[in-house]
Structure 1
Amino acid sequence: MRFAEPVRHWLRAQISSREIDALDPATLRQLARDNGVTEVDFHDLATRQDGNAELLRRQLAQAGIDTGQLAHTHASVMRDMEIVCSGCLVTRRCRRALDHREGAQHAAQYCPNAHTIDALRAGAARFC
């Protein structure tokens, strides 16, 4: 990753945070409800850097799961996985494993979504 890219992600997160903080409480509640998450989760998701979502897509792809189909047929599962992934503290390890094409093999050692990915992979024919 180039140096400027993390800075751009950080700036976007700061701008998003200010925009979310400027919302009136009723609007924030409605947005959270519309997205099926708590207000706290909505704020965290809206202001977090987007690298974790990209890692989740890569992790699912390496497990042989079509993320577009999964999001279409099981939106709540995908949303829950995104929420879990957004709070992940081992993104460096995840990125390193994915870069070495070892994400699916070693996810159980570090990924909080590993059990869900394994369950999806067991039924992967439905999501491909």
Structure 2
Amino acid sequence: MRFTESVRHWLNAQFPWREIKELDQETLAQLARDNAMAVSDFCTLAKSKSGNSELLRRQLAQAGLDPEKVADTKSSVMRDMQIVCSDCSMTRRCRRSLSRQSAAPTYSAYCPNALTIDALIQDFA
């Protein structure tokens, strides 16, 4: 389980989203700081219920990257990509492309992490 998934599961177990949005700003800011995130990223992650983190791992693999290696060597980049994925509106298109195994040549047309994935490909080349 990846960092953002762990945080999301913890948040959902501790507080449903309706309770999180009722927190005072100081408490919300403290929770975000405790997780090394901006408040806006924390809120995005907290209300996300999708499995987009797994889609990211599959997207990286189809692009020729080892998701574990990326997570181990570029943990902050991986966390940022997971946050972007958690709020992505292209989940259905991504899932379809991945299931057809055509995501690698087409992700740049829809993936908000495309530039980061391209940079990672260059870094690991």
What TM-score, normalized to structure 1?
Answer: 0.75
Give deviations 1:9-34, integer Å, cap 9, x for gaps: xxx69x63135246554332122123
2:8 corresponding residue in structure 1:
none
| Mapped partners of 1:66, 1:43: distance in 2 | 28
Instruction: Find the counterpart in structure 2 of residue 79 from structure 1.
Output: 79
Q: CA deviation at 1:73?
A: 1.7
Q: Which runs of 5+ in 1 are unaligned?
A: 1-11
Separation in structure 2 between the aligned mates of residue 74 and residue 35 of structure 1, nearest angstrom: 17
1:13-32 alignment to 2 at 5 Å? 16-21=16-21, 23-32=23-32
The separation in 1 between residues aligned to 2:50 and 2:90, in whole angstroms, is: 15
Unaligned runs of 5+ in 2: 1-11
Distance in 2, matches of 1:63 and 1:124, equals 11
Name the aligned partner's letter for residue 76 of structure 1.
Answer: S
Percent of aligned pairs with the same amino acid: 57
Q: How does 1:93-104 map to 2 (within 5 A)?
A: 93-104=93-104
C-alpha contact (below 8 Å) 1:84/1:113 kept by paired residues? yes
Q: What's the Cα RMSD here? A: 2.2
Q: How does 1:46-125 map to 2 (within 5 A)?
A: 46-124=46-124
| Aligned match of 2:43 | 43
Q: Secondary structure, in 3 states, of the residue corresponding to 1:123?
A: helix
The count of aligned residue pairs is 113
Cross-structure match for 1:4: none
